[in-house]
Each structure stands twice: as structure tokens, then as C-alpha cells.
Chains A and B, each alone.
Chain A
Amino acid sequence: MVVLRGKAHLYGADVDTDAIIPARYLNVSEPALLAEHCMEDIDPGFRERVSEGDVIVATTNFGCGSSREHAPIAIKACGVSCIIAHSFARIFFRNAINIGLPLLECPEAVSGCTDGDILEIDLIEGKVTNATRALSFTAKPYPQFMMGIVNAGGLIAYTKRRLEEIEA
């Protein structure tokens, strides 16, 4: 069973892709280089505070703005293991799932959480446990259709399998 564990980094509504990775850094696409500037304009200390396994927690419309896949890539390359929010912008949601960065929609877990709380996430069960507060929540399950991509580990692995099936 995959259980993710890390401390929560709390944000509000409408965290946009320019905030996640400013466009001035999009002249490269290497994950490690993008990670260096993650959240730079809205939270300059993020890069210092974040460690492997940590979880971003936000309210509504996380990831709005541009289609840049560089945004979830930067977050993932910082070591963030999961994002929990009330809701996500559509393109960001697809991009994160496609590159294998799990997202959960779970408003209850967001409102019960403060910065630095330790969260444990069971992706298979869709369960979020706030270990600091000893509270558990259940996230909205992924649509069945999307589980195929999530289980394959992302869209490229999923498509590769599809192409092989077509050929076979």
C-alpha cells in the first residue's frame, strides 16, 4: 500500500501557474531547474522549507492560468508528493495526473489543516489523515476512466500500452 507522508504547505484560492513557475524561467524545461523557482513570486521561502514527501494544501481553483506542464513538473521536482485542494483548474488537473503527480479533491481535509501539520495519504483508499490532529477524511474518488492513467503511472505509459494493444 502506498502511503505518502509529509508536512502541509498551506495556500489559498486561485494559485495560478505564473505563481507556481513564472514564465521568465520557461526558457528551459529540466525539472531540477524549474524546481529552483517553484512558488518564487508568492512564497519565496517555499523552496527552502519544502522537503521530500510534503503536501501542498490549497482551497479553490489551484493551478489556474496557463497550460504549462512545467507547473506540476516544478512542484513534483521539489519533492511534493501530493496536492490536496477544494478544486483544481482543469488543465492543471490533467497535467498533474499525466505526469504522475497525485491530486486529491477533499475540502474537509483542507479546512481542518494548518501549515506544518503532518499528513498521511493513502491514494488507493483516497484517505487523508491529519496525523497532527488525529483526523481522517475521504477524498473524492478519481473517475473510473482516469484510474487507468493513474494506475499506469501517467499518460505516456498508458498510451504506450494502448499503442501496443492496437499493434497486437
Chain B
Amino acid sequence: MGMTITEKILARHAGLDTVKPGTLVNAKVDIALGNDITAPIAIDLFRKSGAKKVFDKNRVVLVLDHFIPNKDIKSAMQAKMIREFALEFGIVNFFDSGDTGIEHALLPEKGLVLPGDLIMGADSHTCTYGALGAFSTGCGSTDLAAAMITGELWFKVPESIKFIFKGKLNPWVGGKDLILYTIGDIGVDGALYKAMEFTGPVIRSLSMSDRLTMANMTTEAGAKNGIFEPDDITKAYVSGRAVRKYEFITSDADAEYETIKEYDVSNIEPQVAFPHLPENTKGISEVGEIPIDQAVIGSCTNGRLEDLRIAASILKGRKIARRTRLIVIPATPTIYRTALKEGLFEIFLDAGAVISPPTCGPCLGGYMGILAKGERAVATTNRNFVGRMGHTESEVYLANPAVAAASAVLGKIGGPDQLG
């Protein structure tokens, strides 16, 4: 019996020839990742354990991104304790100040996460790196402490669901819409504990940016990981960035899947997820009149250069609606710099947007665009839970960057086709 890409990567890292869904393995991790919210607990546990060093100074990655630049005194204290730990233990990949960006945009860009890797991160959206053909999953802070010390972690091998995308993509439809549509179909726990493997002709020609967006939101379907078999697009993306050797691993033809789902993308229009769950999706034509107070373009889901370019193409020569705020957050310093060079900032500023330094900021209701009671936002982020962006009586609608930009101009949720 063959194995899926997920099973193969787990088997190799556990030193086994084969694994089956349900098997518990102790596997070596290639990268252990923490951020300014999850690392403090892990560092406390690490210090309490009396460990003298991390398993590999190059493979522990610490990113300050959620509340950075420090939003208040307490977050400043958390950042400080991580900074001190990183210095003391010689963490090579510690990202702070002008080097830092949103972790899940930053690590792929820096070539720190690679095809064939097994990556654990104390952040639920660690599943993003599956876009590169890696097994990558979100864990907790205790897991991070354990991985920092031993370089290993326990995993249960997940069953895999195969998603095949066929047909021709409609205008303004991208990775965000494909994944929102999928979550709308299977539900927020539709892939609970499972691997989501994406394939088919549409996927084979999908850009890395769109793949990262899709893998990013597999946790919104409850999945353990999302994964794409590596191909020429993967190769083009990682060559020139990779800091280590990597390996392309693919699924066997006779691998077993729990379910196989097929979607014809010709039927998929830009998607909007209504409050308060990512599964509450509707096509843009069915949205109706939903006035908005704020639009946010950013996050680990859609804060990459490609996303900003799409937004700029819509905002060029236009102004956002009166009484609507637009916040644009380039996800990493490189994206920030490139967007500036390409003249995108000029377009955003002319349109009336605020440009934030790279940070998670409003995505999790941290700062930099919190909603008041009764306010409504359309955001390119990944979660629209109660109170996610501010007051418990505010609302978040999830959409792609084109819809977010168009909505900012319209002052209500709408697609680029509705602009005059």
C-alpha cells in the first residue's frame, strides 16, 4: 500500500519505513517556531526544565510579530524576555524590529521552511508551509518547549483528504476564494485531525502566493496540516532562498485517502465569509447590502506582495468611501520595501489608506485598527470569530484582497466588478 506525502514525511522524520493513519510517532522536527505570544510560556518551561541549550541554534525560530512594535507595557515585557532568551541561547533566526514580519509570510520568504520538512510551530497557522510540500502543523507552547529541548515531538499520523480542483478560474478568484469555498463546503471541523491535500489542474498552475493562502486556512477547517505536492512552481520559489538542502516528496499513486473531493472552480466566484465562523461563506453576488466601517488588507493569509498588487490595481486612481477606513499591512519588511519601490504605497496613500508596519495587529484584535461596538470590517485575514478584531459586538467578514479593496471604495461589501 502506498503512502501520501504527509505519511511519507512523518515516516522519514520518525526513522520508519512506513506509517499508517492513527500511528503515534516521535519525529524529528526541522524547525521549531514560536512568536511573542506563545514563546514566553515555552521559555518559562524551558528554563524551569534546567535545559542548558536548544537542540539546534539554527532551527529554533523566534519571531516577534503579534504585538510588535510593542503595543503596551505588558507586551513590551514579553518581547524583552524573548529577546534576552534569544541572545543568551544564540538563536540565529530571531526576528525583531526592522527585520521582523508576520511569521508565516517571513519564514517561506527567508527560505527557512522547505519542501520535505517537518515543521512545528506554536501558532495555529503554522500549517501555511504545507504550500511548499512540507508537513507543517500548529502546536502549543509546551510542545514548543519540548521541541526546543529535544528536537523531537509526538504526532499522530493523520488520515488524508484529497481535494481536486478542476475547471477555469473566474476573474478575481484566487487561493483565498478556493479555500473559503472549501471550508464553506466541509465546515470548520470538516477536516478535524486530518491532512488536507490539494491537487488537480487548477492547483498545478496556482502561484505560490495563492498556495500559501490556501494552506494557511486549513486550520480553519480543523485540519492538522494542509499540503501541496512540490512541482516546478515550488522549485522556482525555493531556489535562491533555501538555507538548507531540501527534498521533493510526492504521494504514491496507490496512497489511501479518507475522502476525495472534487470541485469545479468554474462555479466559484469570489467568496465572503460572514460572521462569526469562516464556514459561513457566500458568493460575492449573494452578499446583499453590507455597509462597512473598515477594510483590512494584510495578515499571514493575504499580506504578500501579490495581494498588495491586486489591491493597488483596484485602488489606483480611486478614493475609499467617506467614513470608511482602509488599513494596509505589508506582511514582511521585504514586501514593505518592494511595495514602496513599485509605487504601491503612493496608490494606497492617495486612496486614503493607512499603511502599517509589518505586524499581526488587528487580525487578532491586538491593535492598529480595533473595531468599536457595532462596527463592521471586511478583512483579508482568516478568522471572524466573535470579538476577533475588537468589540464583541463588532463583525468581521473575510474576503480576498480584491474584494477588500473594492469594498473600501464602495463603503460596503462588493467586488471589483461593481466599481464604475
The answer to whether A and B assemble together is no
- Contacts from A to B (Cβ < 8 Å): none
- Contacts from B to A (Cβ < 8 Å): none
